[in-house]
Amino acid sequence: MEIIQEKGCNQLVNKDVSQLYSLKLMAMSSSLSESLPSYIMRLAMSHSVTVGSLIQYEIIPKLKLNGKPSNLYNKIIRMSSSSMLSRELNRVLTELSGNNDLRLLNFINYFSKSKTFKNSRTWCPHCLEQFKLEGRIIYEPLIWNFSIVEFCKKHKYPLQKKCPNCRQEMHLITPTSIPGYCSKCRCWLGDTNSYPKNLHIEEEQWHWWVYDNIAELISELPRISQINLNELIANNLKKIMNYYPGSMRKFAQLVELPYGSLYALVNKDVRPNLNLLLRVGYCIGLTIKLIATEQLMLDRAEIILSRQPAKKHTPINRTIDWELCEQRLNAAILDSFPPSIHEIAIQVSVWSETLSRHFPEKVRDIVAKRREFIRRRSLKKELEEQEEIERTVIKIYHRGKYPTRRSVSHEMGREWLFKKKSNYVAWEKAVLSLGLKLNYKKF
């Protein structure tokens, strides 16, 4: 608070007042700390505006970056991994909301931007459903956004990336994003009954080790922001390789990393690649927190290769009842209106793609039969609607009024009725059959 004297008057000016609501980050300094895209969504909701409006009218005008507003808008919507854009976005949001904790979420300041974060949203439906049942604020944790995190350790369930309703992937943030909901069809993403169950995980030890290390790293964000991460990691890795028998090239072969990638990790001038650092730590049995935030002692640096490197691609091993899958598909073929492949997949606890890959002919038959049924049902509904239009036109005419399209749509209670060309043609035929002239002005 500051006192300004002007023309003999004392005026109180509060320089700490923020332009936008000063929302707090959810679960700050914990393993489930909120992500930046989720914070932007909640900030927009708190002001009763869309994310697109918040970005266009509040954030972009304050960005100190060159480029057209439309280009900057698209980059922010796609959550570009540009370090300059990320820093500017954090700066503007901190200035607008007055929340200094947002600076801690700028991971690009600490680690390489290469494949650190995913390009699309992922979520654990069980976590979202738990938030909802417990009456907590719905948000999306930062740990879900890391490209190397594929599972939720709490619920032992793979993170989902496709909406259970429209089966579409989503960007990290879109103009209409809402935490916990699909940005395309508005479906609730926490409906656990819409996802396969009883999924078995291969290489559990690797996945849980990654999850624990990332969670520990997120909880250490306040401390990480105050240390020279590049120099500390480089010095610790050099200690490890000095006490490990063999050259750096041999060490790179043992942990199955390219020599150039390992060399980059020990370079103080290059931001460390988090995914590569996790693989090295897993092989030598040291946590990322120990390597990145502490000075290794000599006794800790006597490293023995304790575990084999994790595979780059870790498939999910599912116990599948193929006979049950075939039975459900055969039953669907005999049904007059078969369920969708997605619904069948949920019943047998597999992915839709798995059924399509192992039973391509049956899946094609079911899809074709379902589409044909939907086409005929739509056609029947369309004909019934046209007949109702004709009856309504006659009904209005007998009242002594001209049956305009507006009066017909109002009578039927469907304002969108004549957006369909077929309904428009049906109205014309009904009016002409009564010997009336078409009056297009009276709508």
Q: Worst-scoring range by mean pLDDT, 21-30, 74-83, 222-231?
A: 74-83
Q: Any idea which fold 208-293 has?
A: 434 Repressor (Amino-terminal Domain) (1.10.260)
Does residue 139 register a pLDDT over 90?
Answer: yes
Residue 383: which residues within 8 A CB-CB, separation 6 or more? none
Task: Say if residues 65 and 85 touch (Cβ distance below 8 Å).
Answer: yes
Assign 12 a pLDDT band (cuts: 50, 70, 90).
Answer: very low
pLDDT at 17: 64
Domain ranges of the chain: 36-109, 208-293, 322-374, 379-433
Cα distance between residue 17 and residue 19, in whole Å: 7
* 3-class state of residue 146 by DSSP: strand
Residue 256: which residues within 8 A CB-CB, separation 6 or more? 279, 309
Cα distance between residue 317 and residue 321, in whole Å: 13
Tens digit of pLDDT for each residue in 180-190?
A: 999 888 889 99
Does residue 11 register a pLDDT over 60?
Answer: no
Residue type, 190: G
Tens digit of pLDDT for each residue in 91-136?
A: 888 888 887 777 767 665 677 766 778 888 999 999 999 999 999 9
Tens digit of pLDDT for each residue in 275-287?
A: 888 888 888 788 8
List helix spans (H) across 58-179: 69-77, 83-97, 125-133
Does residue 1 register a pLDDT over 50?
Answer: no
Between strands 9-13 and 2-6, the pairing is antiparallel
Tens digit of pLDDT for each residue in 209-248?
A: 889 988 888 887 777 767 777 777 778 777 777 766 667 7
* 3-class state of residue 4 by DSSP: strand
List helix spans (H) across 146-228: 204-219, 221-224
Task: Say if residues 195 and 346 touch (Cβ distance below 8 Å).
Answer: yes
CA dist list (Å): 28 to 32, 75, 309, 421:
8, 26, 32, 54
Cα distance between residue 243 and residue 326, in whole Å: 57
Tens digit of pLDDT for each residue in 368-418?
A: 999 999 899 889 989 999 999 999 999 999 998 899 888 888 888 877 788
Assign 300 a pLDDT band (cuts: 50, 70, 90).
Answer: very low
* Ramachandran assignment for 7, one of left (phi > 0), alpha (psi -120 to 50 degrees), beta (any other): left
